[in-house]
Structure 1
Amino acid sequence: MSQLPPPPVPLTLLTGFLGAGKTTLLNRLLKDEALADTVVLVNEFGEIGLDHLLIEGVEDNLILLASGCLCCTIRDDLIVTLEDLLRRRDNGRIAPFKRVVIETTGLADPAPILNVLINHRYLAMRFKLDGVVTVVDAVNGGATLDAHPEALRQVIAADRLVLTKAEIAPDAEAVAALRRRLAELNPGAAILPPDAPAGSLVGAGLYDIAHRPGELRHWLAAETLEGGHHHDHAGHDHGDHHHHHDVNRHDASIRAFVLTAEEPIRQATFELFWTLLRSTHGSRLLRLKGLVSLAEQPDGPLLVHAVQQVLHPPVQLSAWPDADRRSRLVLIVRDLDEEVVARLWSAFLGRAAPAQAESHAHRHHG
Structure 2
Amino acid sequence: MNEYNGKKPVTIVTGCLGSGKTTIIQKILLNKGYTEDFAVIVNEFGQVGLDHHLIRRAEERTVLLNGGCICCNSREDLEEELKTLLYADESGKETFDRVIIETTGLADPAPILFTIMSNPLLQNRYVIDCVVTTIDAKNGKIHLKNNPEIYKQLSVADKVIVTKVDIASKTEISELVTSIKGINPVCEIIYSVDGNVDPNVVKLNKSSIGISSINVNDISNKNHLSNDIQSISFTFSKPLNWVAFGLWLSMLLHAEGESILRVKGLLDVGEEGPIVLNGVQHIIHPPQHLDFWPEGENVSHIIFILREINTDKLSDSLFSFQKFLDTELSFLEHLKI
TM-score of Structure 1 vs Structure 2, range by shorter chain: 0.5 to 0.7
Partners of 2:38 and 2:95 in 1: how far apart?
9
Cα-to-partner distance string for 1:276-296 (whole Å, 9 max, x where unaligned): xxxxxxxxxxxxxxxxxxxxx
How far did 1:26 drift? 0.8
Alignment pair present for 1:215 and 2:276? no
Partners of 2:261 and 2:56 in 1: how far apart?
36
Match in the other structure for 1:64:
64
> Kindly, what percent of the aligned residue pairs are identical?
38
Could you tell which deviates more after superposition, 80-89 or 116-125?
116-125
Q: 1:128 to 1:35 in 2, by over 3 A?
A: farther
How far did 1:205 drift? 4.9
- After TM superposition, list the pairs within 5 Å mapping 1:186-197 onto structure 2: 186-194=184-192, 195-197=196-198
Residue 7 of structure 1 aligns to which amino acid in structure 2?
Answer: G
Partners of 1:146 and 1:176 in 2: how far apart?
17
Q: Which residues of structure 1 form unaligned runs of 5+?
A: 1-5, 223-366
CA contact (8 A) 2:49 2:64 kept: no
How far did 1:45 drift? 0.7
Secondary structure of 2:262's match? helix
CA contact (8 A) 1:13 1:131 kept: yes
Match in the other structure for 2:43:
43
How far did 1:109 drift? 1.1
Residue 215 of structure 1 aligns to which amino acid in structure 2?
Answer: L
- After TM superposition, list the pairs within 5 Å mapping 1:1-366 onto structure 2: 7-32=6-31, 33-34=33-34, 36-92=36-92, 94-169=93-168, 171-194=169-192, 195-199=196-200, 201-205=201-205, 214-216=260-262, 220-221=281-282
Which fold has the larger relative contact order, with Cα–Cα distance below 8 Å and residues 6 or more apart in sequence? 1
Q: Which residues of structure 2 form unaligned runs of 5+?
A: 212-230, 232-259, 264-278, 284-337
Match in the other structure for 2:227:
none
Cα-to-partner distance string for 1:182-234 (whole Å, 9 max, x where unaligned): 112111111111233112x122057xx9x8x6423697339xxxxxxxxxxxx
CA contact (8 A) 2:56 2:62 kept: no
Residue 95 of structure 2 aligns to which amino acid in structure 1?
Answer: P
CA contact (8 A) 2:41 2:63 kept: yes
Residue 216 of structure 1 aligns to which amino acid in structure 2?
Answer: R
Partners of 1:205 and 1:173 in 2: how far apart?
29
Pairwise CA RMSD of aligned residues? Answer: 3.1
How far did 1:61 drift? 0.3
CA contact (8 A) 1:14 1:133 kept: yes
CA contact (8 A) 1:40 1:101 kept: yes
Q: 1:51 to 1:163 in 2, by over 3 A?
A: same
How far did 1:73 drift? 2.7
Q: 1:167 to 1:59 in 2, by over 3 A?
A: closer
CA contact (8 A) 2:24 2:197 kept: no
Question: What number of residue pairs does the alignment pair up?
Answer: 216
Residue 62 of structure 1 aligns to which amino acid in structure 2?
Answer: T
CA contact (8 A) 2:16 2:106 kept: yes
CA contact (8 A) 1:13 1:101 kept: yes
How far did 1:172 drift? 2.9
Cα-to-partner distance string for 1:62-89 (whole Å, 9 max, x where unaligned): 1101133554233211111111211222
Q: 1:75 to 1:205 in 2, by over 3 A?
A: farther
Could you tell which deviates more after superposition, 133-142 or 64-73?
64-73
Partners of 1:59 and 1:165 in 2: how far apart?
24
Partners of 2:149 and 2:35 in 1: how far apart?
27
How far did 1:158 drift? 0.7
How far did 1:36 drift? 3.7
